[in-house]
Amino acid sequence: DPFSEDPERHPALITMTAKPRNAETPTDAMTADFLTPNDLFYVRNHMWVPTIPEDPGQHTLTVELEDGTVKEYTLHDLKTRFPSHKVTAALQCSGNRRKHMSEGSGRKANGLPWNVGAISNASWEGVLLSDVLADAGFDIPAGLAGTSEAKHVQFSGLEAYGASIPIKKAIDPQGDVLLAYNMNGQALPRDHGFPLRAVVPGHVAARSVKWLSHISLSDEESPSQWQRRDYKCFGPNQTHVDWETAPAIQEMPVQSAITGCRLGEWTKLPSKSDKDASGKTRKVKAKYAQQATLSGYAYSGGGRAIVRVDVSLDGGKTWCQAKILPDCTTKNGAPSSCFGHGSWAWKRWRYEGMVPLDAFEQVQQKTDDKKGGKSTRKPPPKHLSATFVVKATDESYNTQPESHSATWNVRGNLATAWHRLQVRSDN
């Protein structure tokens, strides 16, 4: 059993598959913390968790340049010979919300049916990939000018996973690509790449290779199936899937989701008079409304900041703006700083509002409220449901499509349509 050495996991993680381990962050942890606690950070493993030598300082990373020159660094070398950097960044799997893509379009997409929890946020610490590449002999100015032969940085993990990123991102002085050894101030947990992983902020998490052991510069992308096959998108027609010409997913699109929802008691709003179109005064019937508190996250790739989060309490007919919460707050609520040159972290948002009775629909079901087809109960009625929706907009004014049907793809990647949450009110 190659999984017999896998680590123990937090019971609150929502397990999709045990071997290999794939698990979502529970929604309450997303609502509670800007930085996802290490043991509740979502886990996406394609294989087993590799074991490393007794002394993690002796873990070695080899770096191979285009001309075949190889340099070797132990973890100890990385920690002692290069300045350390911190970057606060979310990682999101390209399969996050695949469940909604399948359900929302009525067509099943291939892959694990992730809900909203294949995304988490952490503060990473390590050395800059560009510092290590420069030390290994890569000509950074040529790379920045676009004249180097190497066009891609290929990463390999100890268990055989591999992926690559364009050289442009790898050495961008504001790209913040890390070879990370710490996560939220602690050594990386085994599930998250101990003792060393790439962290490619703003890109699909599939490029943030864990258990990193080898880097190679090449004019080609990584030959791995995860670069050349799995993490690509196609049109909603299933028939035309050209793996060769479709670009590998790198930067993520804009995303948002509702991770918390609380309904209060019904309130009877004061009845009032108003004037109809002809100017006649009429009495408006008593209105009922329910307090709703929603919370969630929003994120966009490429370091693009989230500028607005829109919430609808009536299935998308009318909208209000949610409050974007301050980025970093420590446990006692004090602000702490976010690290990095781009908006690599997620934003958390919160919305409080009154949901009017007419935003709810009667849920069809057998009920003893009804006698002879007529409700004997005083309003507001029982067994109601409403659909709450969220969508986000980033600083390039990219926003999420209304439905999944036009972005459905056979691999089920990059599901990002409006997140709809059907809620029941049985008060």
47 secondary structure, DSSP code: S
- Chosen residue from 22, 41, 44, 249 binding Mo ion by CB under 5 A: 44
Please report whether residue 211 would count as binding ligand MTE according to CB under 6 A: yes
Per DSSP (E only), the strands in 245-383 are: 255-269, 273-275, 281-283, 287-299, 306-312, 320-321, 323-324, 347-356, 361-362, 370-371, 374-375
Select from 242, 265, 253, 236 the least CA-distant residue to 406: 236
Please report whether residue 214 would count as binding ligand MTE according to CB under 6 A: no
Q: Name the closest residue to ligand MTE (Cβ).
A: 157
Span 255-314, contacts to Mo ion by CB under 5 A: none
82-to-129, 157, 200 alpha-carbon distances in Å: 10, 21, 18
Cis peptide before 195 (omega within 30 of 0): yes
Please report whether residue 209 would count as binding ligand MTE according to CB under 6 A: yes
CA distance 391 to 114: 18
> Binding partner of residue 357 among ligand MTE, Mo ion, none, CB under 5 to 8 Å per kind?
none
- Chosen residue from 45, 182, 300, 413 binding ligand MTE by CB under 6 A: 45
Please report whether residue 194 would count as binding ligand MTE according to CB under 6 A: no
CA distance 411 to 293: 34
Which range in 9-17, 44-52, 252-260, 322-330 contacts ligand MTE by CB under 6 A?
44-52
Query: Least separation, in Å, of the C-beta of 313 and Mo ion?
Result: 32
Query: Least separation, in Å, of the C-beta of 133 and ligand MTE?
Result: 20
- Chosen residue from 16, 24, 30, 44 binding ligand MTE by CB under 6 A: 44
300-to-26, 112, 308, 365 alpha-carbon distances in Å: 21, 22, 11, 40
Please report whether residue 196 would count as binding ligand MTE according to CB under 6 A: no
Span 107-166, contacts to ligand MTE by CB under 6 A: 157, 159, 161
> Binding partner of residue 408 among ligand MTE, Mo ion, none, CB under 5 to 8 Å per kind?
none
End-to-end CA distance of the chain: 50
Whether 310 contacts 321, CB under 8 Å: yes
Please report whether residue 196 would count as binding Mo ion according to CB under 5 A: no
Please report whether residue 210 would count as binding ligand MTE according to CB under 6 A: yes
Span 199-228, contacts to Mo ion by CB under 5 A: 206
Whether 392 contacts 400, CB under 8 Å: yes
Residues 6+ apart with CB under 8 A from 316: 387, 389, 402, 418, 420
| Closer by beta carbon to ligand MTE, 175 or else 380 | 175
> Binding partner of residue 418 among Mo ion, ligand MTE, none, CB under 5 to 8 Å per kind?
none
| Closer by beta carbon to Mo ion, 217 or else 252 | 252
Q: Which two tokens stand for residue 14?
A: 């929502």
Which range in 88-96, 143-151, 173-181, 272-280 contacts Mo ion by CB under 5 A?
88-96
- Chosen residue from 13, 29, 40, 43 binding ligand MTE by CB under 6 A: 43
- For residue 106, how far is the Cα from the chain centroid? 23
Span 78-107, contacts to ligand MTE by CB under 6 A: 91, 93
Please report whether residue 93 would count as binding Mo ion according to CB under 5 A: yes
| Closer by beta carbon to ligand MTE, 89 or else 384 | 89
| Backbone φ/ψ region at 142: left (φ over 0), alpha (ψ -120 to 50), beta | alpha
Please name the amino acid found at residue 389.
Answer: V
Cis peptide before 380 (omega within 30 of 0): yes
> Binding partner of residue 45 among ligand MTE, Mo ion, none, CB under 5 to 8 Å per kind?
ligand MTE
- Chosen residue from 205, 217, 254, 423 binding ligand MTE by CB under 6 A: 205
Query: Least separation, in Å, of the C-beta of 205 and Mo ion?
Result: 5
Q: Please list, residue by residue across 167-203, b when 16 or more beta carbons sit within 10 angstroms of its beta carbon and e when fewer do.
A: bebbbbeebbbbbbbbbbeeebbbbbbbbbbbbbbbb
Query: Least separation, in Å, of the C-beta of 361 and ligand MTE?
Result: 37
> Binding partner of residue 230 among Mo ion, ligand MTE, none, CB under 5 to 8 Å per kind?
none
Which range in 208-216, 246-254, 289-297, 409-417 contacts ligand MTE by CB under 6 A?
208-216
| Closer by beta carbon to ligand MTE, 38 or else 218 | 38
Parallel, antiparallel or unpaired: strands 287-299 and 347-356 = antiparallel
Task: Please give the residue ranges that form the binding site for ligand MTE (CB under 6 A).
Answer: 41-46, 91, 93, 157, 159, 161, 191-192, 205-206, 208-211
Task: Please give the residue ranges that form the binding site for Mo ion (CB under 5 A).
Answer: 44, 93, 206
